[in-house]
Amino acid sequence: MSIKSNWSKSSVWAVAIASAVLLFTTFNLARWKNHNVVIHDIQSYYSYLPALFIYEDLSFNYKFEEGMDPIVVQNTWAMVTPEGKPVQKMSGGLSILYSPFFFISHGIAKITNYAANGYSRPYQMGLGLSSVFYAILGMLLMRKTLLRFFSEGAVALTVFSIYIGTNLFYYTVAEGAMSHNYSVFLISLLAFLVTQRLKKQQFLFSILVGTLIGLITIVRPINAIIALFPALYWVLNKEKEVGKNWKHWIGVIIGGLLGIAPQLIYWKYATGDWIYYSYNDEGFFFSDPALLKGLFGFRKGWLIYTPLMVLAWIGFIPLFKESKKLVASIVPVLALYIFVVFSWWCWWYGGSFGMRAMIDCYTLLAFPLAALAHWSLKQEARLKRFMVPTLMLLFLGLNQWQTFQYRKGIIHYDSMTAQAYQAAFLKAKYPKNYMQLIEAPDYEAAKKGEGR
C-alpha cells in the first residue's frame, strides 16, 4: 500500500487532534479565573486596547484617576522618555490581533455583572482563547503550505509535533498571549501567500504581502528579518515573475508602510518622533553573540529544551536534495535571525520555558522537518521508515513532561545549570539540594555585556 493511501487525510486529523489538545489544556488551566492572562510583557502588548477604546487616553494617565479599579492600575504601566512623556515599551501589533476578542469580551462584560474595565474575567478569557484561535489558523495554513511539497503523513507528523512537541505548546496554552504563537500564525500566512502561484491581481497581492510583513514587524520587531524569506524565494524561483517585476516590489514597500503605520502614528503621538527606541539601556552585542549558550546551554539552550528541532536541522539534508532553492531561501534567514537573537543583552530572554525567542522561526523550520519525515516514511526498510516518526513522538513526550516540570517550577524559569538539569531530568518532584544547583543570572552585568 502506498504512503498516500496509508496516510490519507492524516494531516486533517493531526490538526483536529492538536486543536482539541490545545483547547482542552487551555480550559483545564483556566488562567483567566485568577486574572493570570494579562501578565508581564502582555500588559504592554495589550494596553493599547483599553487605553484607546475604554479610557480614550493613550497617555495612560487614567491609571492615576481617583477611584480607579486596582486591577486597572496594576496592569497599566509605561516607560518614560527623557522628556518625561509616557510611552509603551512594546509595540502594538499584537493589539491588532487581540482586538476582535477584546471587542467581543467588552460586549459580554457590558451585559453581565463583570466590570467593563478591560481586565475583568471576560477580557482575560477572550485573550486566552484568542491564542488557541490563531494557533488553529496557523496549523491550517502550515498544513496547506507544506502539502505543496510533502506527503500527507509527513505533514501530519510535522504540524502535530511543532504545536504539541515544542515550547510553542506552552506559549499557546499557558502564556498564550505572548507574541510567539501569533508570530507563527502570521509567518505561516506569509509562507502560504509567498508559495502560491498567483498570476492575476499581482499588485494587490504585493500590497497584501507587504502589509503582512509590516504587521509581523510591529508584533515583534526582530521578525522583520523574516521578510528576507519571500524576497529570496521570489528571486530564486525563476518561474515566479514577481521576482523581476519592479511594480511588485513597489507594492510590497507600500504595503509594508501601511502595516507599520499604526506604530509610527503612536510613536509620533507619544514622543513627537516617528521612530522611537523604547528599550532605553537594553541593546545588542553583535561582536559577542551568545551562540553556544543560546543553542546548547542548560540555562535556556534551544536544542536542550526543544530537542525536536535537532531533527529539523538534520532535515535540511533531504530538503537540499529535493529543493536547493527552498533551502537557499530559508538558511540565510535562520542564520541571520539566530545571530541577532543571541546578540541581545539578555540572550536567555528572562523567565521563560526554553528558548522562546526561537519559536517565531518554527514555520520556516517546518519545511526541513517535514522533508525528514517525508524521507523516512517512503523508505522500504521498516527500521528507517519508523525511525524518524518514533524520534518525533519521543521528543514530543519529553516536551510535554518538561512543560509539566516548568509549570511546577522543577525546571527553573531563568537559573538552570547542567547540574540542576541532570538532577531534575524526568523528575516529578524537586531534587534534593535543588536551590544549591541553580545559578541566578546577573541582569545588570548582562546589560553591560559582561559574562556572555
pLDDT of residue 238: 58
Question: What pLDDT, on a 0 to 100 scale, did the predictor assign at position 96?
Answer: 98
Give how far the C-alpha of residue 335 lies from the chain's centroid of Cα atoms, to the nearest Å: 17
Q: Which contiguous run of DSSP H or E holds residue 80?
A: strand 79-80
Q: Which pLDDT score, from 0 to 100, does residue 198 have?
A: 57
Q: How far apart are CA 157 and CA 386, in angstroms?
A: 12
Q: Which residues lie below 8 Å from residue 194, measured CB to CB, with a gap of 6+? A: 209, 229, 230, 233, 234
**Residue 198 to residue 439: CA distance in whole angstroms:** 53
* Residue 241: predicted pLDDT: 56
Question: Which residue numbers in the chain have pLDDT < 50?
Answer: 1-5, 239
Task: Please name every residue paired with 87 in a beta bridge, in sequence order, or none if there are none.
Answer: 79
How far apart are alpha carbons 411 and 400 in whole angstroms?
13
- Of the candidates 108, 102, 104, 61, the one whose C-alpha atom is nearest the C-alpha of residue 80 is 61
Using one digit for the tens of pLDDT, what is the confidence trace for 387-406? 999 999 999 999 999 999 99
- Give whole-number Cα distances, 76 to 91, 97, 171, 351, in Å: 15, 19, 22, 20
What are residue 86's DSSP bridge partners?
A: 80
| C-alpha distance from residue 212 to each of 179, 183, 227, 276 (Å) | 15, 11, 10, 21
Between helix 121-146 and helix 10-29 the angle, nearest 10°, is: 160
Q: pTM score, two decimals?
A: 0.95
- pLDDT attached to residue 147: 95
Residue 4's pLDDT is what?
Answer: 47
pLDDT at 3: 45
